[in-house]
Chains A and B, each alone.
Chain A
């Protein structure tokens, strides 16, 4: 059974991106508050050699603590966990992290679908899924799964993404889901808009946890 551990409406945020998403993360992560109330788990398709440097750079520039995920690690709020090069990153049903060197999924290891799908299973509706710029269609299936479970889906606006194919594929699939009445794209935003959304969700949750804020809009009933 799922744990209801996180503050407010969510337990975790998952991020996925490919070509053109590095720039977005470099803009986004440094502007999130250090007391961000949930862990962020991220899969970015990169050349294996780039990976380590990128994590160090983001860690230096952010108030959040940015690192590579370790197997069976318990994720903490305000921490960002990247899938290590050549490993899938997953969330277990008890919301710990795990790694896998299994087959590539959609030509990718790490695969965004693997992360999103496992996190949707672990967090159900208490999950935010963010899909950024990229080529290909990794992440579409995972984001649909998040939506079906009642989680919040956020897509970088394909019109503003450096590589629109990946967010566009997810947008099309989620729009089709919405037509069936089982989910849909909740937010299609610019990179700045995604940052503002995450900040406001964080403020809403922290307000709730501190008992100061009024009942947040869209809170669990």
Chain B
């Protein structure tokens, strides 16, 4: 066993400890990326090796926020892939309007940039009042950030071009207030948004959805976890519901591939055409998870 083998073993043990002690399950994340993030954590903590971090994890909660923050990918921007958002506006929303009322699940929302993008599109299309958006992420701290909707002014300004290319119909700057280098997103954008922690690796179905948006999340998972999550989405969607994945995330080879039809192959927008309705499926949700608690707190 060489040094690289040993580090791989240490990483496996570290992730097992994290799961069994704190319930965060990164065990089925794709290894190249999670390995790099564990090494970054090592740099941040100054630990001499990956296994030196295990006792810190086992004997307290102090390290946990840094661990979850470092291991999860929280890179997000507004209107990333403007072409995708234009399709959402011009093709998906007209279809969704055939439902009287819709629920949207934005899974893996990170710090929320895309949630606000989504809300802008729904508002401009006059459909926001008939929409409830559930925005979830495994990391409770970034869920709070998403809810706050405060971003650096420079980054938000840099999204203006994306917004326009995506077919934006208003002045982008009307959606935020600039204060001391920060952009505070307009509160009306989150009127119909429920932010809550939900872990795709361990939590289950929590409602019947018409649109699921989960872009650039599955690429961090190995095949088995990708399949689990796709099953979860399949079980959560109503018949005719839409699932949008990242442009490099494919249903090819997954167990649920036959349940879906491509609406737009390039941008991985799929419509559910077969498979059970959510109420027929008993998910592996045992009791009320954090999301249910979140829903109650929001008075729903």
Contact = CB atoms under 8 A, between A and B. Distances in A.
Contact of B32 (A87, A91, A101, A149): A91
Contact of B219 (A93, A101, A103, A149): A101
A90 interface: yes
B73 A102 contact: yes
B248 A92 contact: no
Contacts of B248: 70-71, 84, 87, 99
Contact of B223 (A72, A91, A100, A103): A72
Interface in A84-128: 84, 87, 90-93, 98-103, 114, 117-118, 121-122, 124
B117 interface: no
B36 A101 contact: no
B33 A98 contact: yes
B8 A93 contact: yes
Nearest to B1: A1
A143 to B, nearest CB: 16
A102 B33 contact: yes
Most A-side CB within 10 Å, residue of B8, B32, B36, B220:
B32
A84 B248 CA distance: 9
Nearest to A118: B32
B4 interface: yes
Interface in B3-21: 4-5, 8
B249 to A, nearest CB: 6
B246 interface: yes
Contacts of B75: 101-103
Contact of B249 (A71, A91, A92, A103): A71
Contacts of A117: 36
A72 B5 CA distance: 21
B36 A93 contact: no
A90 B31 CA distance: 10
Contacts of B246: 101
A100 B219 CA distance: 6
Contacts of B216: 101
Interface string B214-235: 0010111011001000000000
A99 B249 CA distance: 9
A121 B30 CA distance: 14
B31 A92 contact: yes
Interface in B246-277: 246, 248-250
B2 interface: yes
B209 to A, nearest CB: 23
Contacts of A70: 248, 250
Nearest to B73: A102
Interface of A: 1, 70-72, 84, 87, 90-93, 98-103, 114, 117-118, 121-122, 124, 149
13 contacts: A71-B218, A71-B219, A72-B30, A87-B219, A92-B31, A93-B31, A93-B32, A98-B219, A99-B219, A101-B73, A101-B219, A102-B33, A124-B2
